[in-house]
Amino acid sequence: MTLPETLLETRSLTAHYGDFQALFGVDFAMEAGETVAIIGANGAGKSTFLRCLTGLHPTPGQQIIFDGQPIAGMAGDRIHKAGLAMVPEGRRLFPSLTVEENLLIGGAGKRPGPWTLAAVYDLFPDLVAKRSNPGTALSGGQQQMVAIGRALMSNPKLLVCDEISLGLAPKIIKDIYQAVPQIRERGTSILVVEQDVGQAMAVADRVFCFMEGRVTLTGTPATLTRDQIAQAYFGMGEVA
Ligand code: ATP
């Protein structure tokens, strides 16, 4: 029997913005092959946590282990080369470039692996007819697909997505999340920040809830009750 391989781990991770402390000792771990969702209210520290992982927020001297390697304090491009790719909140496509050029930029200096232009078009067939259009001429949902495809083009071991659902209609969100099983089948693990608790529960193997810079709950969707989630999310009451 092979033991599960820890892909990403943080130990007692802290983060500050000046005097303000945004994360208070976050212990986190996920295994290779898992899809993990981080949920939590506005300001809970979810984006800060992702920024720490991807080198956008300074974490010198801290413990972040990715794929067996300490990455805290590393520059973002080295973390990316190590196989951790981020789909940023707001998509941030290059406005003057076409869909295909945006995807190809994601693949520049890529690691070996299954993600190619053809594989991305297979994942998101809506993009095929749009390949020569500027990224900004697309709908919000299609832009999100390009942003995900661009990150996949680097053949990451871990795809980190910040708020995929933001500003999108429920039908479009469903379409995008339908791609998750196919992404996993190709061996890419997924960490998503998701404000929509129902969506997070539907897609994730495991969920972490953040509140005020701390992990307040973790477990599998099947084992967590609505009351537990509401308590961990808001501190009280029931989640909508
Ligand atoms: P949201 O869903 O609203 O993005 P979040 O859970 O991602 O929320 P963060 O954006 O990580 O939360 O914010 C955590 C805390 O850090 C909040 O109190 C926020 O106001 C604060 N914060 C975030 N960015 C900065 C910054 N650049 N300067 C100062 N404080 C910040």
Please report the pLDDT score of residue 90 as a whole number: 72
Q: Rounded to the nearest whole angstrom, what is the distance from the C-alpha of residue 64 to the centroid of ligand 1?
A: 20
Please report the pLDDT score of residue 1 as a whole number: 54
Q: What's the average pLDDT block by block, 10 residues per block, for the chain (240 residues)?
A: 80 96 97 96 95 94 94 94 89 83 85 92 94 86 93 96 87 90 94 91 95 96 92 71
Question: In 10 A of CB 85, how many CB atoms?
Answer: 26
Q: Which domains does the chain have, with CATH numbers?
A: 6-93+156-234 (3.40.50.300)
Best residue for ligand 1 mutational test, from 16, 23, 48, 209 (most atoms within 8 Å of Cβ): 48
Q: What's the CA gap between 45 and 42, in Å, rounded?
A: 8
**Is residue 40 lining ligand 1, measured as CB closer than 6 Å?**
yes
**pTM of the predicted structure, to 2 decimals:** 0.92
Q: What's the CA gap between 151 and 139, in Å, rounded?
A: 19
**Is residue 165 lining ligand 1, measured as CB closer than 6 Å?**
no
CA angle 117, 136, 140 (to 5 degrees): 85
Best residue for ligand 1 mutational test, from 38, 39, 46 (most atoms within 8 Å of Cβ): 46
Please report the pLDDT score of residue 144 as a whole number: 92
Instruction: Give strand pairing partners of 37.
Output: 192, 207
Q: Which numbered atom of ligand 1 lies nearest the CA of 18?
A: 29
Q: Rounded to the nearest whole angstrom, what is the distance from the C-alpha of residue 42 to the centroid of ligand 1?
A: 8
Q: Which numbered atom of ligand 1 lies nearest the CA of 213?
A: 14
The residue nearest atom 16 of ligand 1, judged by CA position, is 22
Please report the pLDDT score of residue 3 as a whole number: 57
Please report the pLDDT score of residue 4 as a whole number: 64
Q: Rounded to the nearest whole angstrom, what is the distance from the C-alpha of residue 167 to the centroid of ligand 1?
A: 18
- Read off the tokens for 45: 């520290």
Q: Can you say whether the dihedral through the CA atoms of 61, 65, 71, 72 is positive or negative?
A: negative
Q: Rounded to the nearest whole angstrom, what is the distance from the C-alpha of residue 138 to the centroid of ligand 1?
A: 29
Please report the pLDDT score of residue 106 as a whole number: 84
